[in-house]
């Protein structure tokens, strides 16, 4: 039991181990996880080396035949039970998420953790609804298909939505009868380790879910390389996605990649401007901008440009940056010093490239216990040119690039003129235009007159270099199933 709670405001964490075959085991090395709001070490956790990764894969392989043959209704009940336990422990999990990631407690407590439970419930329902079909094959035959699990799947999780991402991957993988080795990000291992305890408590058989921690270049790379892992499902950055695909090619593993974005948020003059301004602010600053779908490029009709930028500035001026546990805080700490450095680097690039800073533009200086925290002011660049680096590259921080446009054709061309294609939003009261954009935008998700909406039933994933395969929805099941055709001679 690596994590013990006294109350929701004080979390004691004892040295972490690896959850393999239903037991806690030592790793090859020990790492530290840091509270990015204070710079203090929260605790140490284990790193799995090649030996421990191998043990985790072996445990998953041993558990696979029985799990695959477990009645689907029982698999569904276990997932539902896990969701109940997450609900029961909401405060503790939200507290761990906030100290490990730096995000405001209202985000982890009100949104992330309840959403995690909802996703497990959604996939619990799917466990009993996976089936093949009968087909009219040639000759005197009876032909049918079965939808079967892949076997052992490796799930590699990013640090921005640590527990939510565990459910996006574990939910469909387990509902379809796969066994799992899950690796959270080294910046945010705590909620995944807490989840291991709940998985045990829910009654999942040992070895069905193994949770191993460690650096991506060590534990993650070993998992991707392992010859007995059938599939890797990864959410994270484009360069790492590329590495994973290359490495997985050696053993011809199946791969699902959910990568970065540079999502356009497009406001037309006929939109409800107040809603669009709020949407623009939430679209980029929710989650400190550390969201793959963040609306980081704001395309605004020239005729309303000043009105929109002024509206955004007014809302940003009211946003509290600081203590993630303060109820009024809207922007917490970025996840790490490295991430803060990267974001501040992009802010400098924006300035050097000639964009004008109309809000923020620097580190947010704090005092007292937060003096070493990784806080960055919510930053808005105006008059950005679509070819500037801040308009093309994923910053993954609270930095908005405002790009004015003349007309619909220009807006669409700018929106699609990036390598990414994860999400996009359009604000307009012209229903035909809204659907024209829904059709023409190169993105896996299009929001119309809203932004950053998620539901377990709606598939999420990328076009272009934002990846392939889908999380959530019925589509997510496809990534964890393979089809078998069966022929029966009737003559
Ligand atoms: P970011 O760049 O935003 O920190 P990453 O893509 O590096 O995100 O990390 C996402 C996840 O991928 C983390 O769990 C990380 O440990 C893991 N990871 C990083 N590098 C590798 C790698 N070479 N092989 C496998 N997993 C990796």
Q: Which of 161, 185, 229, 235 to mutate to test the pocket of ligand 1 (most atoms within 8 A of CB)?
A: 185
The pLDDT tens digits of the residues spanning 203-260 come to 999 999 999 999 999 999 999 999 999 999 999 999 999 999 999 999 999 999 999 9
DSSP 8-state secondary structure symbol assigned to residue 270: T
- Residue range 3-259+467-472+479-486 in CATH 3.40.605.10: yes
Catalytic residue among 47, 52, 186, 258: 258
What's the gap in Å between 325 CA and the centre of ligand 1?
Answer: 27
Q: Of 28, 253, 287, give the one whose Cα is nearest residue 155.
A: 253
Can you tell me whether residue 284 is helix, strand or coil?
helix
The strand ranges marked E within 184-259 are 209-211, 231-235, 254-258
User: Quick one: residue 215, left, alpha or beta (phi over 0 = left, psi -120 to 50 = alpha)?
Assistant: beta
**Residue 289: pLDDT band by 50, 70, 90 thresholds?**
very high
Active site residue 369: no
Q: Which of 100, 156, 396 to mutate to test the pocket of ligand 1 (most atoms within 8 A of CB)?
A: 156
DSSP 8-state secondary structure symbol assigned to residue 370: G
What's the gap in Å between 230 CA and the centre of ligand 1?
Answer: 19
**Residue 2: pLDDT band by 50, 70, 90 thresholds?**
very low
Closest atom of ligand 1 relative to the 240 alpha carbon: 6
Residue 158 is encoded by which pair of tokens?
Answer: 């990013």
% of the chain surpassing 90 pLDDT: 97
Is 334 a residue whose pLDDT tops 80?
yes
What's the gap in Å between 183 CA and the centre of ligand 1?
Answer: 10
For strand 134-135 and strand 320-321, is the pairing parallel, antiparallel, or unpaired?
unpaired
**Residue 190: pLDDT band by 50, 70, 90 thresholds?**
very high
CA-nearest residue for atom 13, ligand 1, is 185
Can you tell me whether residue 298 is helix, strand or coil?
strand
CA-nearest residue for atom 19, ligand 1, is 216
Catalytic residue among 52, 186, 290, 292: 292
Domain limits, the chain: 3-259+467-472+479-486, 264-456
Q: What are phi and psi of 134, to 5 degrees?
A: -100, 145
d(CA 443, CA 461): 8
pLDDT value for 291: 95
Is 134 a residue whose pLDDT tops 70?
yes
Is 4 a residue whose pLDDT tops 90?
no
Rg for the chain, CA atoms, rounded: 23
Contact 361/377 with Cβ under 8 angstroms? yes
d(CA 157, CA 233): 9
Closest atom of ligand 1 relative to the 237 alpha carbon: 6
Q: Across residues 57-77, what is the average pLDDT? A: 98
> How many Cα atoms within 13 Å fall on the side-chain side of residue 18?
32
d(CA 431, CA 323): 42
Number of other residues whose CB lies within 10 A of the CB of residue 17: 21
Mean pLDDT, the chain, rounded, equals 96
Q: How far apart are the first and last CA of the chain?
A: 60
pLDDT value for 12: 55
The pLDDT tens digits of the residues spanning 105-115 come to 999 999 999 99
Is 10 a residue whose pLDDT tops 90?
no
The order of strands in the sheet holding 152-156 is 23-25, 18-20, 209-211, 179-183, 152-156, 231-235, 254-258, 467-468
Residue 224 is encoded by which pair of tokens?
Answer: 């991707």
Active site residue 166: no
The pLDDT tens digits of the residues spanning 396-414 come to 999 999 999 999 999 999 9
d(CA 325, CA 96): 11
CA-nearest residue for atom 17, ligand 1, is 216
What's the gap in Å between 237 CA and the centre of ligand 1?
Answer: 7
DSSP per residue, 78-114? HHHHHHHHHHHTHHHHHHHHHHHH---HHHIIIIIHH
Closest atom of ligand 1 relative to the 184 alpha carbon: 14
d(CA 446, CA 266): 11
What's the gap in Å between 464 CA and the centre of ligand 1?
Answer: 20
Contact 343/398 with Cβ under 8 angstroms? yes
Give residue ranges with CB within 6 A of ligand 1.
Answer: 156-158, 183, 185-186, 215-217, 220-221, 224, 236-237, 240, 243-244
CA-nearest residue for atom 16, ligand 1, is 216
Q: Across residues 336-344, what is the average pLDDT? A: 98
CA-nearest residue for atom 12, ligand 1, is 216
Is 1 a residue whose pLDDT tops 60?
no
Is 7 a residue whose pLDDT tops 90?
no
Q: Which of 45, 183, 240 to mutate to test the pocket of ligand 1 (most atoms within 8 A of CB)?
A: 240
What's the gap in Å between 266 CA and the centre of ligand 1?
Answer: 31
CA 316, 162, 49: angle at the middle one, nearest 5?
Answer: 135
Q: Of 100, 119, 46, 65, give the one whose Cα is nearest residue 460.
A: 119
d(CA 134, CA 144): 4
**Residue 11: pLDDT band by 50, 70, 90 thresholds?**
low
What's the gap in Å between 240 CA and the centre of ligand 1?
Answer: 6
User: Quick one: residue 457, left, alpha or beta (phi over 0 = left, psi -120 to 50 = alpha)?
Assistant: alpha
DSSP 8-state secondary structure symbol assigned to residue 218: I
Can you tell me whether residue 447 is helix, strand or coil?
strand
Closest atom of ligand 1 relative to the 214 alpha carbon: 16
Closest atom of ligand 1 relative to the 158 alpha carbon: 10
Is 16 a residue whose pLDDT tops 90?
no
What's the gap in Å between 438 CA and the centre of ligand 1?
Answer: 32
Is 15 a residue whose pLDDT tops 90?
no
pLDDT value for 339: 98
CA-nearest residue for atom 18, ligand 1, is 216
One of 3.40.309.10, 3.40.50.11440, 1.10.3720.10, 1.10.1060.10 is the CATH number of 264-456, namely 3.40.309.10
């Amino acid at each position: 039991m690596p994590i013990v709670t006294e109350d929701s405001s004080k979390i004691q964490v004892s040295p972490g181990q690896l959850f393999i075959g239903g037991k806690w085991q030592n790793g090859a090395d020990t790492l530290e996880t840091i509270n990015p709001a204070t710079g203090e070490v929260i605790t140490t956790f284990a790193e799995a080396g090649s030996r421990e990764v191998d043990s985790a894969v072996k445990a998953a392989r041993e558990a696979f035949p029985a799990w695959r043959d477990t009645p689907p209704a029982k698999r569904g009940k276990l997932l539902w039970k896990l969701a109940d336990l997450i609900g029961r422990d909401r405060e503790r999990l939200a507290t761990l998420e906030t100290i490990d990631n730096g995000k405001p407690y209202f985000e982890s407590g009100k949104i992330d953790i309840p959403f995690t439970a909802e996703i497990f419930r959604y996939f619990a329902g799917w466990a009993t609804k996976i089936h093949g079909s009968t087909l009219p094959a040639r000759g005197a035959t009876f032909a049918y298909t079965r939808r079967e699990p892949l076997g052992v799947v490796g799930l590699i999780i990013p640090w921005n939505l640590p527990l939510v991402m565990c459910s996006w991957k574990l939910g469909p993988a387990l509902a379809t009868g796969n066994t799992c080795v899950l690796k959270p990000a080294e910046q945010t291992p705590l909620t995944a380790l807490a989840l291991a305890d709940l998985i045990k408590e829910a009654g999942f058989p040992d070895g069905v879910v193994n949770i191993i921690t460690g650096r991506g270049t060590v534990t993650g790379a070993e998992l991707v390389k392992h010859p007995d892992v059938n599939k890797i499902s990864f959410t994270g950055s484009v360069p790492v996605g590329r590495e994973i695909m290359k490495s997985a090619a050696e053993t011809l593993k199946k791969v699902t990649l959910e990568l970065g974005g540079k999502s356009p948020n497009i406001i037309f003059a006929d939109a409800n401007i107040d809603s669009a301004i709020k949407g623009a602010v939430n679209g980029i600053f929710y989650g400190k901008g550390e969201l793959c779908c963040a609306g980081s490029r704001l395309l605004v009709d020239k005729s309303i440009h000043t009105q929109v930028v002024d509206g955004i500035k007014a809302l940003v001026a009211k946003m509290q940056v600081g203590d993630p546990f303060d109820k009024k805080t809207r922007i917490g700490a970025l996840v790490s010093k490295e991430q803060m450095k990267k974001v501040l680097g992009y802010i400098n690039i924006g300035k050097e490239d000639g964009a004008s800073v109309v809000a923020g533009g620097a580190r947010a200086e704090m005092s007292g216990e937060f003096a070493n925290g990784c806080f960055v002011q919510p930053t808005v660049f105006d008059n950005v040119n679509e070819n500037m680096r801040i308009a093309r590259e994923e910053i993954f921080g609270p930095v908005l690039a405002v790009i004015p446009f003349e007309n619909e054709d220009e807006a669409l061309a700018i929106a699609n003129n990036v390598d990414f294609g994860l999400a996009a939003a359009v604000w307009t009261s012209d229903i035909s235009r809204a659907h024209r954009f829904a059709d023409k935008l190169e993105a896996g998700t299009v929001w119309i007159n809203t932004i950053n909406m998620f539901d377990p039933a709606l598939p999420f994933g990328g076009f272009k270099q934002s990846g392939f395969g889908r999380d959530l929805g019925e589509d997510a099941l496809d990534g964890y199933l393979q089809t078998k055709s069966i022929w029966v001679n009737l003559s």
